Amino acid sequence: MAQLRQTQSVENRHKLSNTLRNWLPILHSSLSDLGEAMSPFIDANPIIEISSGFEDSFEKLIPKKIGNSSVANTRTEQIEALTFVKKSLYDVLDEQIEAPLFPTPISQKIASFVVCNLDENGYYEGDSEEFCKNNAITIEEFEKVRLRFAHVEPVGVCAKNLLESFLFQLDSSDISDKVYPLAIKVIKDLENIYDYSNEAGFSEVMRVLTTFKNPPAIEYLEESAQVIPDLMIFFNDNDSIEVKLNDAFYPIINIDTSYSIEHDYVSQKIKEAKSLVDALDMRKATLYKVGLMIVEYQYEFFTGGAIMPLTLKTLADEFGHNPSTISRAIANKYIACDRGVYAMKEFFTTAIDEDVSNAAIKEFVIGVIKSENRKKPLSDMKLLELIQDKFKVQMVRRTIAKYRKQLNIAGSSERKKLYHLH
């Protein structure tokens, strides 16, 4: 009997190990990328068939009782809010700050600084010298890392100017090696571009140049990548709040049972398929629990209030995981509610003095702009200075610009024009 118990224990540990091995990449992927994350497991298993929930109409999946929160929306707005949300340029770049391009802590710190100091067109405008001084590195080391953005999507961003952006894009183009030197010369002398019209290969250079993005972040000024929320949070008729998984958009795994399980190969593949199903269920259970905890800690937000301070460590302690694991688990995950669609990471704020969140900073921005001099509206840099002075926290201009846009507040030059009209 003891031998039997020991054998069962080993089998259970083996099953759990397989499930966990499958679970991590499945947990870390976004809902829209889930099928791609599962493909290595599926491609290697002939008894698995998979279908996608994306074929269904999303409108049919929206709970009928949505709409009883303090923030009113029309039916159309609710449908739009609960279907897709646009990723920002910064979200897309943040996802790429990892190995192999940025494998070390310092390279990731440099890359994050670069991304945090982009203007709205995607050009880098940060104070490199100040950063290098504060981190005891040379400008050469900094630039070596920054130039790796030539290999990041969208190609051309994080360059210092148009010339460098075009050089980034040139290295990723399909231009021939023979014409490449001419393209370099043309890009460095764009003002006199037609002086090279008689050069052999000029037509190919022009063909390639017309495919370049100018400004490099133009696609994020016009239309952004779409993502799908993992969770929906809404109020029922009795004013109780409910957390619902967007599980209808999950890939559906079907195990073909027509094979004979007497063969060792088939038996092994069935075990692997079941482990994959278990891993998918673990993803759902984990994110559902995250949703419940977000509602518990951020209940005021869902009833119309502000997001309260909440650290990843708090959630990690509840789960018994490392904060870095939780950070990866909520990355690229979104929650749909009556107030719109929000990235999960937005519910985790860095508190200032233990009781002030970035929601307080946003309220401060609203207040100072309401009372600003209409003849000389406050720039983002001036807002940054005021915030740092009041809250005693270090931030970057890009964060202020992001907050301002989230609050639907125009830039200083636009506000000046609007004030003049009124």
**Residue ranges per domain, the chain?**
22-86+225-347, 89-173+212-222, 358-421
pTM of this structure:
0.48
Helix (H, G, I), strand (E, B) or coil at 343: strand
Q: Are strands 85-86 and 340-343 parallel, antiparallel or unpaired?
A: unpaired
DSSP state of 245: E
What region, left, alpha or beta, does residue 176 occupy, with left being phi > 0 and alpha being psi -120 to 50 degrees?
Answer: beta
What's the rounded Cα separation, in Å, for the pair 241 and 109? Answer: 39
Domain 358-421, architecture per CATH: Orthogonal Bundle (1.10)
Residue 145's pLDDT is: 94
Class of residue 349 by CB neighbours under 10 A (exposed 0-12, middle 13-18, buried 19+):
buried
Residue 16's pLDDT is: 45
Q: What does the longest C-alpha to C-alpha distance in the chain come to?
A: 90
Amino acid at 67: G
Residue 44's pLDDT is: 81
Residue 33's pLDDT is: 78
Element (H, E) at 232: strand 231-235
Residue 70's pLDDT is: 35
What's the rounded Cα separation, in Å, for the pair 25 and 282? Answer: 12
Say which residues have a Cβ less than 8 Å from residue 32's Cβ, sequence separation at least 6: 226, 227, 228
For the domain 89-173+212-222, what is the CATH superfamily, name and number?
A: RNA polymerase sigma-54 factor, core-binding domain (1.10.10.1330)
10-residue mean pLDDT profile of the chain (422 residues): values are 39 49 75 78 80 49 38 38 57 84 90 88 90 94 94 91 92 87 90 86 89 83 62 82 84 77 79 85 89 88 78 80 76 82 76 54 87 88 87 75 79 80 66
Helix (H, G, I), strand (E, B) or coil at 61: helix
Residues 391, 356 contacting (CB under 8 angstroms)? yes
What's the rounded Cα separation, in Å, for the pair 22 and 37? Answer: 10
Residues 4, 220 contacting (CB under 8 angstroms)? no
Residue 84's pLDDT is: 42
358-421 matches 89-173+212-222 in CATH topology: yes
Residues 39, 24 contacting (CB under 8 angstroms)? no
Nearest residue to 64 (alpha-carbon basis) of 229, 235, 247: 235
Residue 133's pLDDT is: 94
Q: Are strands 241-245 and 231-235 parallel, antiparallel or unpaired?
A: antiparallel
Residue 79's pLDDT is: 34
Helix (H, G, I), strand (E, B) or coil at 85: strand
Helix (H, G, I), strand (E, B) or coil at 216: coil
